[in-house]
Amino acid sequence: MEFTPLKLNVFLFFKLPSAFWSGVRVKSISKEQCVVTVKHRWFNQNPFKSIYFAVQAMAAELTTGALVMMQIKKSGKNISMLVANNNSNFSKKATGRITFTCNDGHLIEEAIKQTIATCEGQTIWMKSVGVNEKREQVSEMNFEWSIKLKV
């Protein structure tokens, strides 16, 4: 699969339908950065009339996971990926359109090179920050990805 926003959004529809129906959409992806948005709607809200934390987590995880998937494909190797750990901080009510950005593409590229060179699994923490339409931070999420060369 080529890594374009359109193809990743089609991937969401078939492989992660809960994210797709919640309104999670990839807006851009490059070697270094992935940007995903989600808009507050009735379907994805919590009882406090903001975006449910799990919907924010899906969007944030996608910013990191898409970068991992892209680097694995680029390597040409058979490498598994798994979220081993995560943590979150919610600093403001998530209403309107929330944009999550991960700028850690360079970190996963290095970890994959290390995995291939040593045939040992690697873990890497990647951060995704969510901001509202006023560019105010609403959440920050960190995901520890475990990657391992399949032999």
Residues 121-145: tens digit of each pLDDT: 999 999 999 999 999 999 999 999 9
Instruction: Quote the pTM value.
Output: 0.95
Residues 103/127/144/147 CA torsion (nearest 10 deg): -10
Q: How far is C-alpha 144 from the chain's CA centre?
A: 11
Q: How confident is the model at residue 2 (pLDDT cuts 50, 70, 90)?
A: confident
- In which band, very low, low, confident or very high, does the pLDDT at 1 lie, cut at 50, 70 and 90? low
Query: Are 23 and 95 spatial neighbours (Cβ–Cβ below 8 Å)?
Result: no
**Confidence bin at 110 (pLDDT 50/70/90):** very high
pLDDT of residue 151: 80
Mean pLDDT of 21-47: 97
The mean per-residue pLDDT over the stretch 72-91 comes to: 97
60 has a pLDDT exceeding 70 = yes
